Amino acid sequence: MIRVEDLHKHFGGFRAVDGASMTIEKGSITGLIGPNGAGKTTLFNVIAGVLKPTSGRVFMGDEDVTGLPPHELFHKGLLRTFQLAHEFSSMTVRENLMMVPGKQTGETIVNTWFRRGQIDREEEALRKRADEVLDFLTIRHLTHEKAGNLSGGQKKLLELGRTMMVDANIVFLDEVGAGVNRTLLGTISDAIIRLNKERGYTFCVIEHDMDFIGKLCDPVIVMAEGKVLAQGSAEGIMQNEQVIEAYLGRGLKNKEMIGA
Amino acid sequence: MSTNRQAESSNPWRAPILFAILAILFILEGSWRSAMFSGSWNTSLAILNMGLISAITALGVNMQWGYAGLFNVGVVGFLALGGLAPVLVSLPPVDGGWSSGGLRVLTALVVGLGTLGLAVTLWQRLRRGWVRGLAVTGALIAGFVLYRNIFDPAVIAIEANQSAQYGNLGGLGWPVLISWPVGGLFAAAAAWGVGKVALGLRSDYLAIATLGIGEIIVAVLKNEEWLARGVKNITSIPRPVPYEIALQQNPEFQTAAANWGFPLAEASGIWVKLCYMSLFLVVLLSIILLAELALKSPWGRMMRAIRDNETAAEAMGKDVTGRHLQVFVIGSAVIGIAGAMMITLDGLMAPTGYNPLRYTFLIWVMVIVGGSGNNWGAVLGAILIWFLWIKVEVWGPSLIGVLVTPLPEGGLKEHLLDSAAHMRFIAMGLVLLLVLRFSPRGLVPER
Amino acid sequence: MDILNALVAFLNFVFIPAATYGAQLALGALGVTLIYGILRFSNFAHGDTMAFGTAITIIVTWGLQSLGISLGPLPTALLALPVGIAGTAAVVLLTDRTVYRFYRAQRAAPIILVMASVGVMFLMNGFTRLLIGVDEQRFADGARFVINVRDFREWSGLTEGLALKTTQALTLVVVVVVVWALFWFLNRTKSGKAMRAYSDNEDLALLSGVDPERVVRLTWIIAAALMTIAGVLYGLDKSFKAFNYFQILLPIFAAAIVGGLGNPLGAIAGGFVVAFSEVAITYPWLKIAGYLFPDWQPDGLLQLLSTEYKFAVSFVILIIVLLFKPTGLFSGKSV
Amino acid sequence: MSDSDADKAFGKRGNRDASIVNPRPPGTVDGTRKSGPTGPGRAGDPFLIGDGMTGGYGRGPDILHDCTIAVEKGEIAVIVGPNGAGKSTAMKAIFGMLDLRQGSVRLNGRDITALNPQDRVKAGMGFVPQVNNIFPSMTVEENLEMGAFIRDDDIRETLQQVYELFPAVADKRKQAAGELSGGQRQQVAVSRALMTRPDLLMLDEPTAGVSPIVMDELFDRIIAIARGGLPVLMVEQNAQQAMMIADKAYVLVQGRNAHTGTGKELMANDEVRRTFLGG
Amino acid sequence: EDIKLAASLGFTGALESLAPDMLGGAELAAKEVTDSGNLLDGSTVEIVQSDSTCTDAAAAVSALERVVAEGIKGIVGGMCSGETIASLENVAVPNGIVMISPSATSPALSTIEDQGLFFRTSPSDARQGEVMSDIIKSRGIESVALTYTNNDYGKGLADSFQAAYEAAGGTVTINAAHDDGKADYSAEVAALAAAGGDALVVAGYVDQGGSGITRASLDTGAFETFVFPDGMISQALVDNFGTELATSFGQNPAAEGEGRDNYIATAEAAGFDGSSAFSAEAYDAAAMILLAMQAAGSSDPAAYKDKVMEIANEPGEKIMPGELAKGLELLAAGTDIDYVGATAVELVGPGESAGVYREVEFPEGELSVVGFH
Ligand SMILES: Nc1ncnc2c1ncn2[C@@H]1O[C@H](COP(=O)(O)OP(=O)(O)OP(=O)(O)O)[C@@H](O)[C@H]1O
Ligand SMILES: Nc1ncnc2c1ncn2[C@@H]1O[C@H](COP(=O)(O)OP(=O)(O)OP(=O)(O)O)[C@@H](O)[C@H]1O
Ligand SMILES: CC(C)C[C@H](N)C(=O)O
Ligand SMILES: [Mg+2]
Ligand SMILES: [Mg+2]
């Protein structure tokens, strides 16, 4: 689905992504983990067109999509969420969803003057679809709430909901779990699995919560210092010495001081 | 932040009440002769007419800032460019202007634009490296030399043609109303160029670029005599409405004036101003109608989303730079239309008058005081601030007169009274600060 | 010899004037940038506050002169400067207290602060005129020249002359000293660090025990000092006229933006970029070419564009600078 | 950084033009507020107690409802709860960053309800917020110096201690803090609070977005600090680990105390585990 | 009757420093007339200010509309040509009010459609260019650099001068504009210096860019000889430059004789600077409106507009500044007068001053008149 070849992204002299190559298979839920500063978010941003790579190529299917702007990638079915939620805070939850589909008649300014009828019909259909998504995400009661007033986890659900307003091919999720209550995270992972099964979305997920990764992802790719360190099934990765050394660690050292 | 916004819940009656107060101010100005008001309908309508033009300008700025967060500090430039339209459209052609060098000037302009186009194409086509730099520089220099070689002699020829009275190309002799949309087109074209360079980059670019384009346009108008006589000014631009003198000589009008009970001169002035007012109102209301239709539809939703969070909007498939360019061009076009209307109303094109304090900052004050993002707010702010801008000229000195009464006669009192004219600025500053203090989000806040 | 002549002509007409003007702009831009970095808005009242500070200084200078106090070859205004700074600081603090503080406490959108500063601009504008009137005032005294044209010609035997005015030399020296002092203050002292911290992250500065209102006051005082110094140097070098101080606002903002708003180093660089692009681009190279290539007799003045377009040209230069340095000349580090 | 903080500029609204207003996020606390007087504490108070706190942001609705949080010397107290429960709000309330409508905050035998945050720092409280908890353009060392801002004595010794505690921070001391990765930033943030030599340390989700190995590291440090006598009050979403080290734990739901107990007790409570800890 | 006259001058804006002395002139005339008690059976005259801002035509028009509403019977103003034209076309003509400008000198005003309502007490710049060219030629200077303030005044003057000078065989090495109120003039001076020339013609304003250019040219040694037209000649110029102008010269409209000196003295007594540019012209403008009213026996502009030319020109008894009372008396008695005033008023063509210019030099740092043209 997505193939990255020898990708480099340098900030000044700093190599945030330093020759990463990987493939994300169609229909998979691929996990992407690695220490802080490994370059995961940067890699996402390059794939999603937010940053231009210093060198290297990104392919979507067989098409070279390197350096395309985000909005064009969107129309090719590549959607992404953000490490910190990027809701449209002054708009209602439903508006947040309704603005997503592209090529709406009413988005052309001349049409808003002369084709009100068609716009109204389209809006009706959109509203229906948005409500379905809200039902799916179990946040229908927040339909008219300003998105800025949602709590952290609900914002993350909304981010996910936006990806459901159109037929996406591949969805990139950046730390959906950080700062989210673990119970709610369960709901989110169920939603991801359903989308994957029912709608055939491909996912690529960054996360530091290994339970979440373990439950959801196969395969898992480990990045460190801008390179791919290891790749394999979740269990395999968690046994990998290098990965434990660089990323997972061996638990608390001060155990004896707990519960004094 | 958000809390303080929610708390100040918007009252649906707020805008109508404020507009009513504004209307009362104008009625007082028209009918009550006193220390505060002149009691002349002519004055009242004159202020109103200019206020309506300011309102249209403010609408344009509001589109750019309120809808899209684009900071345009070159309002004066787009206004001036729009003002060029009545000159080029409605003045009669100058005898011998075109034959002395008109075609050559046009050729030169084509060469100039072609050079820029060529340079851009070279820049895009060639690979990075010193060859590209050299080629582009070479093309630019060659193009510039060629341009100057065609342009300079042509200009000298045109400017030499009856230079005391004309020295310019003149216009097409078409009805002046046509020049309003043309003014919009002029401004839109300039905005497109500026936007292409500056939008999508860091937002400061737009500030510098618009500040620059404002200066450049005004400089061009001042110095390119072949275009609109430069600082020598163009006068007697045709009107879309009757002339007072003609009215005064028209017997029908004379009887009508007598029936209303106004002196003839005054009645003719009022009538002309009412004609202008209707024209301006038609333009203003159409622009508002179109803007509101667009805002209350998916386009408006998209713009709000972009303004709210550009990164996310881009990721949701919205072409942020494209939309910004669109709004910037449309907003500038509206400013351009206002510029053309203003020159029509003045009947005079005097480029030295385009100063940024009056035509950029004051417009900004209007938009922000009115409530950015809200069309009605912009209109209200514009008319109100214009009214005050004119009236503080009277109120300022009376204020100082009141303030100094307790002072003993002498140097200080003298000095203060002599400086009364500067009270205009002090009064304006005070008014502005007070309005901002009591409605920090503008008089009619967005939604 | 001819090369020397060319060089002297260039120094005399382009380099020295542009450097002086650039230094004046740099000081102004420094103040704008400081307020932008710490108080988070562009202060449109900057130019008129400069005028106000200068007006106070001039009045004190007159007082000193009438008492017969002078500084020998240096302008007496330097003695009056501290009073001017103190007066300006007092006024600026008063405006902060009565105007800006309200919006700060309200956490109002910053554009509101910008517009409030327009209001303050009008007020300052009016008060300056009430204080000193609208007329042009010259208050430079002391020796006018460090080197003047005639002496230089005699001394060097060149055809071209070179002049360096006391005020020009003074401007350059003062700018270096002020900039050094400012950087030392910001980077080395506790208060300076508190200011940088506040600019970086207001809430966290508060959580570290920084008193935000103290930082704000300090910022205004430093800004007032910068404004007054810039205004007085400018007034000494050219002359004082209230209206011109509004006009200088535009180039000051241009300088601050090109340098990368919020960045002091950038403000300085920006000032010089603006000044040099104004002066150098419209310079007719005829004379210098005449020295360098005595046989070449071009018919024009070898002037790229006429001086009417100097401001416009300088903007084009600024845009080009930005195209190559998209974050301003010095991005990243900020106040 | 690239896609996170940049667009918060105007309270998450548009009009973010950098040429007239500074796009860095503005503060959220009213720095102009003056402190009121402090009062006496109550007999039998714990070292710190936020007692029966009720309040919300600005003129908005109450977020906290009669919420009580306390911590004793040498202990770790942990606050958990669903998103939006008011955990961060409770921390801010204790720190004086929002006006309480009811209830009081008492520290070390004094009632400090009327103090503003600056003065609470002087009273010995150290706080690491959930987000924006470093000075990005200042070097790591300057960040630490800012931590010691209220101190007039020689800070070199404390600096040395902190560097020993966090070697990763010591390595980067000359680098701008904004250039560090997420985990390193969290360590800098905690170090900064320690530089104050506080009598109490408050941490809001110090481990969010931090890799497992760094999280363990952080928890290790926190345990060490607490056992050194400095009471620690923290909010955590990594509830399972947090409960393990907690001497006392509060579950907040919709601004109210829902459950209180030792970490072990709450872990043992099935309902709490299922609904709040994701067990 | 209580007669109101408007003074439509730029009290704020680019030329705000000239306005107070011009207003002083107009008020002096009004006071003189009121005090005499001779005008139309003891009418009093009041001057109401209207801020024309000099540059903002729209604001000028609005402000003037306002005072028209107060019932003014005549306008002294406008100040700058651009704004004057707008006020004339939009206010004076439609309302049929007489307008006498003391200072708008653009040649365009000579040909404007004014319904006989517009006059000016200053000459058109077309004439000054010729005079200046003659003076320069007569001093044997064959090449000059030329800089002008970038408005209709500066441009018009520069063009007419260049045409006259080149026709007489002189060379203008550069003809460059400078904008007033700019922060810095280094670029302009650099350009002028590079172009060279035996003298620099500064067609600017003394308290605006003109002085800035002169100052910088002197300091850098770019020029030593300057030629100053009317916008520059004033006491301020001498104060600013003193002995540095030893080889410079210039001309400005000012008639021979004691009229001007009288006026300056009276002005000083009244507390303002009568030698300031266009102050005397403003006095004359106001005086002429009032004299014309007296001649017509009515303050109605429609009636007195035709009298303006009559009282201004021969034949008749000469009236000097300070003698308005006498003039009014004579007119009341039906005697013809020829108003000379402070500027030796002589209206020609469409009602503008014919223009007598005095040639001045600055030896020993003093302004001295060397002849008249
Ligand atoms: N705009 C930038 N300028 C300079 N350096 C940057 C920039 N963006 C990221 N970096 C650096 O690149 C490195 C990789 O950052 P990135 O955000 O990709 O890490 P990450 O793997 O997503 O880490 P985390 O798990 O903490 O989110 C970091 O060291 C970071 O400091
Ligand atoms: N500045 C603010 N203004 C108004 N309401 C706010 C503000 N900050 C938070 N809230 C609201 O207060 C409630 C509690 O927020 P708080 O940040 O305390 O939650 P939390 O328990 O820390 O959640 P999380 O685990 O997501 O960090 C939420 O409903 C939130 O929308
Ligand atoms: C006030 C004057 C200096 C104005 C100038 N003569 C003009 O016509 O614009
Ligand atoms: Mg990341
Ligand atoms: Mg929280």
Q: What is the CATH number of the domain that holds A54?
A: 3.40.50.300
- Range 10-39 of D in CB contact (< 8 A) with A: 12-13
Confidence at residue A126, expressed as pLDDT on a 0 to 100 scale? 92
Residue-range definition of the domain harbouring residue A197: 2-87+166-258
Closest ligand by atom to B5 CA: 2
For D37-124+233-278, the fitting CATH number among 1.10.1070.11, 1.10.10.10, 3.30.460.10, 3.40.50.300 is: 3.40.50.300
pLDDT digits (tens, 9 = 90+) for B157-173: 888 777 767 778 888 88
What domain count does chain A have?
2
Q: In this predicted complex, what is the ipTM? A: 0.85
- Is A105's Cβ below 8 Å from some Cβ in B? yes
E170-183 pLDDT, tens digit each: 999 998 899 887 87
Q: Would you state the pLDDT for residue B10? A: 59
Chain E residues closer than 8 Å to C285 by CB: 194
Q: Mean per-residue pLDDT for B143-153?
A: 85
Q: Is E283's pLDDT higher than 70?
A: yes
Calculate mean pLDDT across residues E18-34.
Answer: 92
Q: Which residues of A touch B302 (CB under 8 A)?
A: 99, 107
Average pLDDT, stretch A74-100? 87
The mean-pLDDT minimum among A52-56, B35-39, B279-283 falls in B35-39
Q: Is the pLDDT of residue B53 over 50?
A: yes
Same domain membership, residue A68 and residue A94: no
Q: Is residue A133 part of a domain?
A: yes
DSSP state at residue A142: G
Ligand 1 proximity of D179 Cβ (cutoff 6 Å): yes
Residues A174 and A231 in one domain: yes
Q: Are residues B333 and B314 in the same domain?
A: yes
Q: Are residues A78 and A182 in the same domain?
A: yes
pLDDT in tens, B75-112: 999 999 999 999 999 998 888 778 888 888 888 889 98
Average pLDDT, integer, range C209-228:
93
Enter the tokens of residue C220.
């205004």
Three state DSSP letters for chain E: CEEEEEEEECCCCCCCCCHHHHHHHHHHHHHHHHHHCCCCCCCEEEEEEEECCCCCHHHHHHHHHHHHHCCCCEEEECCCHHHHHHHHHHHHHHHCCEEEECCCCCHHHHCCCCCCCEEECCCCHHHHHHHHHHHHHHCCCCEEEEEEECCHHHHHHHHHHHHHHHHCCCEEEEEEEECCCCCCCHHHHHHHHHHCCCEEEEECCCCCHHHHHHHHHHHHCCCCCEEECCCCCCHHHHHHHHHHHCCCEEEEECCCCHHHHHHHHHHHHHCCCCCCCCHHHHHHHHHHHHHHHHHHCCCCHHHHHHHHHHHHCCCCEEECCCCHHHHHHHHHCCCCEEECCCCCCCEECCCEECCCEEEEECHHHCCEEEEEC
Q: What is the pLDDT of residue C332?
A: 43
Domain membership of residue B237 as a residue range: 2-92+170-438
The answer on pLDDT for B285 being more than 90 is yes
Amino acid C334: pLDDT: 38
pLDDT for A237 equals 87
pLDDT band at E370 (very low <50, low <70, confident <90, very high): confident
| Position B299 pLDDT exceeds 50 | yes
Residues B177 and B324 in one domain: yes
Same domain, B380 and B248: yes
What distance lies between CA A211 and its chain's CA centroid?
18
- For residue B336, the model assigns a pLDDT of 97
pLDDT at B3 exceeding the cut of 70: no
Per the prediction, chain B carries an average pLDDT of 86
Looking up tokens 């052309």 gives A108
Chain B interface test: which of C249, C278, C315 (most B C-beta within 10 Å): C315
Mark whether C and E touch (3+ CB pairs within 8 Å).
Answer: yes
**Residue C6 in this model has a pLDDT that exceeds 60:** yes
**Does residue E151 have its Cβ closer than 6 Å to ligand 3?**
yes
Is the pLDDT score of C261 beyond 90?
A: no
Distance (Å) from the C-alpha of residue C101 to the closest C-alpha of chain B? 11
pLDDT at E123 over 90: no
**pTM to 2 decimal places:** 0.88
pLDDT at B381 over 80: yes
Q: What is the pLDDT of residue B9?
A: 47
More confident residue, A144 or B416: A144
Q: Considering only CA atoms, which residue is closest to atom 24 of ligand 2? A: D83
**Per-residue model confidence (pLDDT) at position B441:** 78
pLDDT at position D25 is 66
Predicted local distance difference test score (pLDDT) of residue C328: 59
- Is the pLDDT at C333 greater than 50? The verdict is no
Residues B113 and B202 in one domain: no
Do A40 and A56 reside in the same domain of the chain? yes
Give the residue-averaged pLDDT of B387-410: 80
Where does residue B257 fall: left (phi above 0), alpha (psi -120 to 50 degrees), or beta otherwise?
Answer: alpha
Ligand 3 within 6 A of CB of E223: no
Report the chain D residue with the minimal C-alpha distance to residue A257.
Answer: D223
- Comparing CB atoms, the residue among B297, B305, B314 nearest residue A112 is B297
Q: What is the mean pLDDT of residues E92-120?
A: 88
- The predicted structure's pLDDT at residue D216: 86
Q: Give the total number of structural domains in chain B.
A: 2
Neighbour-count burial for A227-242, b at 16+ CB within 10 Å, e otherwise: bbbbbbebeebbebee
Strand order in the sheet with A55-60: A14-24, A2-11, A55-60, A63-64
Predicted local confidence at residue C45, as pLDDT: 92
Q: Is the pLDDT of residue C92 over 90?
A: yes
In a mutational test of the pocket of ligand 2, which residue from D8, D13, D89, D205 has the highest number of ligand atoms less than 8 Å from its CB?
Answer: D89
Q: What is the pLDDT of residue E99?
A: 95
The domain boundary, picked from B169, B203, B237, lies at B169
Whether chain E has a CB inside 8 Å of the CB on B307: the answer is no
Choice between A251 and A33, residue whose per-residue pLDDT is larger: A33
> pLDDT tens digits, residue range A52-62?
898 999 999 88
- Cα of B219 vs centre of ligand 2, distance in Å, is 54
Q: Classify each residue of D174-209 as buried b or exposed e, where b means 16 or more C-beta atoms within 10 Å of its C-beta.
A: eebbbbbbbbbbbbbbbbbbbbbbbbbbbbbbbbbb
> What is the pLDDT averaged over residues B352-358?
84
Average pLDDT, chain C: 85
Q: What is the rounded distance in angstroms from the CA atom of residue B227 to the CA atom of residue B221?
A: 7
Tell me which chains share at least 3 CB pairs under 8 Å with chain B: A, C, D, E
User: For the residues B316-328, what does the mean pLDDT come to?
Assistant: 91
- The answer to whether B418 contacts chain E (CB < 8 Å) is yes
Phi-psi region of D254 (alpha: psi -120 to 50; beta: other; left: phi over 0): left
Q: How many helices (H) and strands (E) does chain D have?
A: 10, 11
Query: Looking at the structure, do residues B321 and B389 belong to the same domain, yes or no?
Result: yes
Handedness of CA B27, B28, B32, B34 (dihedral sign): negative
Same-domain status, B82 and B155: no
A37 in a structural domain: yes
Task: For residues D192-197, give the mean pLDDT.
Answer: 86
Tell me: do B63 and B204 sit in the same domain. yes
Give yes or no for residue E105 CB within 6 A of ligand 3: yes
Task: Look at C249-253, C303-307, E74-78 and tell me which has the smallest mean pLDDT.
Answer: C303-307
Last residue of a domain, one of B169, B193, B211: B169
Who has greater pLDDT, B444 or A97? A97
Residues within 5 Å of ion ligand 5 by Cβ? Answer: D 88, 130
CA distance A38 to D181: 8
Helix, strand and coil in chain C, % to nearest 5 = 75, 5, 25
Q: Taking the domains of chain D in order of start, what are their residue ranges?
A: 37-124+233-278
Res. B334: pLDDT tops 80: yes
CB contact under 8 A, C247 and E183: yes
C105, C208, C262 member nearest D146 (Cβ): C208
Q: B306 with B396, same domain?
A: yes
The answer to whether D102 contacts chain C (CB < 8 Å) is no
pLDDT tens column, A141-198: 889 988 887 877 778 788 888 888 888 889 998 887 777 788 888 888 888 898 899 8
Instruction: Write the pLDDT tens digit of every residue in C117-128.
Output: 989 999 998 889
What does the alpha-carbon distance between residue B387 and residue B51 come to, in Å, rounded to a whole number? 7
Pair A61, A14 in one domain: yes
Q: Which pLDDT does position D13 carry in this prediction?
A: 35
Q: Give the whole-angstrom CA distance, residue B225 versus residue B208.
A: 27
B213 in the same domain as B125: no
Res D14: pLDDT: 37
> For the segment C102-142, what is each residue's pLDDT rounded down to a tens digit?
988 877 878 888 889 989 999 998 889 888 877 777 887 87
Instruction: Specify the 3-state DSSP secondary structure of A253.
Output: coil
Residue % of chain A over a pLDDT of 70: 97
Q: Which positions ≥6 away from E305 have C-beta within 8 Å?
A: E98, E116, E117, E292
Among E55, E79, E252, say which to mutate for ligand 3: greatest number of ligand atoms within 8 Å of CB: E79
Q: How far is the CA of A179 from the centre of ligand 2 (A)?
A: 12
**Residue B140 sits in the same domain as residue B9:** no
Q: Please report the domains of chain C, with CATH numbers, ordered by start residue.
A: 2-324 (1.10.3470)
Any idea what the CATH number is for the domain that residue B291 is in? 1.10.3470
For the cut 70, the answer to whether the pLDDT of residue B146 exceeds it is yes
Is the CB of D237 less than 8 angstroms away from the CB of A179? yes
Using CB atoms, list chains with 3+ pairs below 8 Å to chain C. B, D, E
pLDDT band at B5 (very low <50, low <70, confident <90, very high): very low
Query: Is residue B338 one of the residues assigned to a domain?
Result: yes
User: What pLDDT is attached to residue D21?
Assistant: 62
What tens digit of pLDDT does each residue of E62-83 get? 788 888 888 899 999 889 888 8
Distance D28 CA to ligand 2 centre (A): 13
For chain B, say whether C322 makes contact (Cβ under 8 Å).
yes
Q: Closest ligand 1 atom, CA of A226? A: 14
Which band of pLDDT confidence, cut at 50, 70 and 90, is reported for residue A21?
Answer: very high
Work out the mean pLDDT of chain A and round it to a whole number. Answer: 86
Inter-chain CB proximity B433 and C121 less than 8 Å? no
D22-39 pLDDT tens trace: 666 667 777 778 888 888
Contact status of B393 with chain E (Cβ, < 8 Å): yes
> Distance between CA A39 and CA A34 in Å, rounded?
8
pLDDT tens figures, D109-153: 889 998 988 889 888 899 998 878 899 888 999 999 998 898 888
What residues have a C-beta under 5 A from ligand 4, the ion? A 41, 83
User: B152 with B192, same domain?
Assistant: no
- Closest protein CA for atom 4 of ligand 3: E80
The pLDDT of residue C97: 93
Does residue C77 surpass a pLDDT of 90? no
Predicted pLDDT at D2: 31
Per-residue pLDDT, averaged over D85-96, amounts to 90
> Would the CB atoms of C206 and D27 count as touching at under 8 Å?
yes
Q: What is the mean pLDDT of residues E337-356?
A: 85
Confidence band for D5, pLDDT divided at 50, 70 and 90: very low
Of C287-291, D231-235, E173-177, the range with the lowest mean pLDDT is C287-291
Least confident span in D60-64, D91-95, E205-209, E241-245: E205-209
